[in-house]
Every structure is written in structure tokens, then in C-alpha cells.
Amino acid sequence: MTDTPTHTEAQRPAQGAARQTAQQIREALDAVLTHRYGLWGASFLRILTGATLLVQLVVNFPFRSYLWGPAAAWSQELHATAEFPFQRLIFGPTVSATSVTVWYVVLIVAVGCFMVGWHTRLATALTLVLHTWMTFSDGIYLDQSDNFVRFVLVYALGMCTWAHWSFDARRVARRQAAMESGEASAFTRRWSHVKDGMEPYVTALHNAALAGLAAHICMIYVASAMFKIQGDRWQNGTAVFSPLQIPHFSPFPELSTLATMWTLPVVVATYLAVYAQLFFPLMMLHPVLRKVGLVAIIGMHASIGVLMGLPFFSMLMLAGDSIFVSSRTYQRCDNAIRPVVNRVTARLRRIFRRGKTPVRAATPPGATSSQPSDGRSPAQPQAPV
């Protein structure tokens, strides 16, 4: 077998490449098991989605029965197909007014908890279940904002949306401080140990959910653009004109008239809407283009929200887009806002005679504390407030 050594030599580079690939895969897997990406964006997603839902629920409160209760009993036969079991158990045209009101208030509370990040995972699940139950219960009304928020909440269930600007974050900081000072109870220590064991799984789930939502939003935008370019009015640059003439999509007729008075803005807005959506995923890959893309999308949604009278749809879409804003931008905002918040909080505490200083942060077990972009020293654990 004179050719054996030659054959082995030929295999060496291939084996080396295979080992290198295996190592790269291993490192990639370790990265998604140890690093939670986009935590700031996920936290802002929680706040904006929660705030939008909360305002929408409050605005709809006087109409809860007309939409999802016995005032809509006239529509009870329109939606015969049941998508979910017990679809009309707590909301719906055949349910009592008391049930609708009680569960509506529970939903408001759940959304409030979700927004401020108080027992966030549970609040997210409760919001998802109740919101889905409510919106599917009626005979006729289910719009795109309901659909969008539903699958955002599905992804948010897997994400660590509580990581920043939340009560859960404060609770973790307190627990960590107690652990490090040795003041934690035996139960807290045991619970922390269990949670530490779950960390890699939770981290992987967070990253997957975040990537899933990002990909889903990109697909929505690209598909939406592809649907649009099939239409004549999008092709000839006049698409934004038509809806703004219909009273239902023109809450401010004066603004609509102004916006569609000249040809050039109509054509530019029409094409910008298509291009911003079509190239959205590509623009997210480059730091400068990402800013351009996000500004274009924000402009598009702001226009839809105000001119077409769809503010909740627009705000929810923007909440989804917020995961594409870089963590550094959020950290800068946090650095700018936090002193103001701390001053206000301190003043309020003085007013209420509590007079304690706010806790900054503590490092969870096994985690590496992040170095803020402005060069501040990493946060030190402090005593809980």
C-alpha cells in the first residue's frame, strides 16, 4: 500500500478543517448558551408593547361590551367557527357583562405588570392568553395589530424582557446583594442554585426567541413589500393617496388633504414605504444603513398612526422594530435618563420620608458585568433598598 502515506497526508488538511469547523460550531453554541443578546431591545419591546396595549385597553374600556361583550349579542352568530376551546367562556357576545368587565380588568392588570416587568414571564403568559381570548371571542373584529401583538407575545414568552428597566431586575439585584452579603435565606440560596443550573437553557431560549422575532419581522416587511409591488397603485406611485380619502382612514381630513395635495410627496412616500420594507433586512446588517432603515420605518409607521388613524397598530409595529436598535443606543439613553430618574426618585423618597438611595445593580452568578460605553466603572452590588 504504497499510496497510504500520501492518502493520510491528503486527509490532514481536511481533518484540520473539520476540526476547525467543529470548534467554530462549538464556540457558536457556547456563545448562545452564555450570552443573552439584545436585552435592552427586548426590555424596550416589553415597555412599548405593554404601554400601547395598556392605553388601547383603557381607550376601549367604555366600549368593552360593544366589542367583546353582551352589547354585541347581535353578532353572536357571525363567527360560528371556534378556533379555540372555550372561546366564549369569559369574553364574547354571549357572556355576561360582569364576566367581561372582571376579566377585562384582570387583563389590564396583567398588561400593567408586563409593562413594568413585575413577574414578567407570568404576566406575559397571562397577557397572551387573555388578549388572545378576548380578541378571538368577538364575531367580527380582529385586526392586524391584534395579530401582530399575539405573536410578539409568543416570542416574548421565551425572551428575558425583564432584564432592564423592570421590577424583576430590581428583585434580582436585591437577591444577588443578599447572596453576596450572606444575608440570603436558605430557601433563596437553594432557589438561586436551581436558577443558575437553568441559566444556559434560559439564555438559549432567549436568544432563539429574539432571533425568531427579528426574522419574523423581517419576513413580514419583505412579504408586505412583495405584495405591494403587485398592485397598480404602488407601481404608479399613488398608493398612499387612496386610503387618505376614505373617512375611516382619515381621522384628520385637513392633514390628509395637506399630505396628498402635491404629487411629489405622494410618489415619494409611496415608493419610500415599499423600499423601506423591501430592503429592511439588508439595512439592518449595516450600522449606518440600520439607522437609515429605522428612521424610514419609524416615519412610515408615524404616518400610518396619525394620518390613517391606526396609532395602536403603528406603535406595536414600532415596538417590534425596537429590537433592532443597538444596545449601545439604549445604554446611552439609560445613562442620560437615569440621573434624572434618580433625582426624581430621591426627591419623592424625601417627600415620603423614606430617604434611601436607589440601588444600582448587582452581578448575577456566573455573569460578567458589562462595561458601559461611556467608560463608567461596572456596577457594584449594593444593599437592597
Partner 1 sequence: MVTPPQRTEPTPNTPPPARAQTNIRNRHRVAAVAIAVVLGVHLAAMFLWISPRTPVTDAVDAPLRAYALPMFQQSWSLFAPDPVHAAYYLEVRRVPQDLSETPWVSASAVELAGLHHHLLPTTATNITNKTASLTNEALNDLPDDHKALFTWHFHHDVQTRLISEGLDGQNPTTQFNRAMTVDRAVTAYATQFLSAQGQLVEGDLVQYRILRVSSPDFADRATQGVSQTVSFTSGRRPPEVLPGQDVEAFERALEAFS
Give, as ranges, the residues between 67 and 106 that touch partner 1 (CB under 8 A). Answer: 67, 69-78, 80, 83-84, 93-94, 97
Least distance between partner 1 and beta carbon 73 (Å): 4
27 binds partner 1 (CB under 8 A): yes
300 binds partner 1 (CB under 8 A): no
299 binds partner 1 (CB under 8 A): no
Tell me the residue type at 60: N
Size of the site for partner 1 (CB under 8 A): 128
368 half-sphere exposure, CB direction, 13 A CA radius: 6
247 binds partner 1 (CB under 8 A): yes
Tell me the residue type at 98: T
Q: Choose the binding region for partner 1 from 3-11, 183-191, 324-332, 346-354 (rule: CB under 8 A).
A: 324-332
Which of residues 51, 224, 302, 346 is near partner 1 by CB under 8 A? 224
Residue from 192, 188, 178, 187 nearest 362 by CA: 178
SS3 sequence, 287-346? HHHHHHHHHHHHHHHHHHHHHCCCHHHHHHHHHHHHHHCCHHHHHHHHHHHHHHHHHHHH
Which of residues 46, 131, 170, 301 is near partner 1 by CB under 8 A? 170
291 binds partner 1 (CB under 8 A): no
CB 252, CB 306: distance < 8 Å: yes
Q: Which residues contact 98 (CB under 8 A, 6 or more apart)?
A: none
320 binds partner 1 (CB under 8 A): no
Least distance between partner 1 and beta carbon 370 (Å): 5
Which of residues 10, 11, 18, 63 is near partner 1 by CB under 8 A? 63
129 binds partner 1 (CB under 8 A): no
CB 131, CB 104: distance < 8 Å: no
Residues 112, 113, 115: CA angle, nearest 5 degrees: 65
111 binds partner 1 (CB under 8 A): no
Q: Choose the binding region for partner 1 from 57-65, 181-189, 278-286, 348-356 (rule: CB under 8 A).
A: 57-65
30 binds partner 1 (CB under 8 A): yes
Phi/psi of residue 78, each to 5°?
A: -75, -30
Least distance between partner 1 and beta carbon 243 (Å): 5
Residue from 262, 297, 264 nearest 279 by CA: 297
Residue from 85, 167, 156, 84 nearest 121 by CA: 156
279 binds partner 1 (CB under 8 A): no
Tell me whether residue 109 or residue 306 sits nearer to partner 1 (CB atom).
306
Least distance between partner 1 and beta carbon 12 (Å): 25
Tell me whether residue 35 or residue 354 sits nearer to partner 1 (CB atom).
35
Residue from 339, 337, 330 nearest 370 by CA: 330
Q: Choose the binding region for partner 1 from 10-18, 204-212, 288-296, 317-325 (rule: CB under 8 A).
A: 204-212
Which of residues 289, 335, 373, 374 is near partner 1 by CB under 8 A? 373
CB 307, CB 259: distance < 8 Å: yes
Least distance between partner 1 and beta carbon 148 (Å): 7
Least distance between partner 1 and beta carbon 4 (Å): 34
Q: How far apart are CA 126 and CA 299, in angstroms?
A: 32
Q: Choose the binding region for partner 1 from 8-16, 106-114, 179-187, 308-316 (rule: CB under 8 A).
A: 308-316
Least distance between partner 1 and beta carbon 190 (Å): 19
176 binds partner 1 (CB under 8 A): yes
Q: How far apart are CA 104 and CA 110, in angstroms?
A: 10
Q: Return the residues of window 332-371 that contact partner 1 according to CB under 8 A.
A: 334, 358-364, 366-371
Tell me the residue type at 291: K
Tell me whether residue 11 or residue 98 sits nearer to partner 1 (CB atom).
98
Longest CA pairwise span in the chain (Å): 91
Query: For residue 375, is it left (φ>0), alpha (ψ between -120 and 50) or beta?
Result: left
Q: Cell triple for residue 115?
A: 409593562
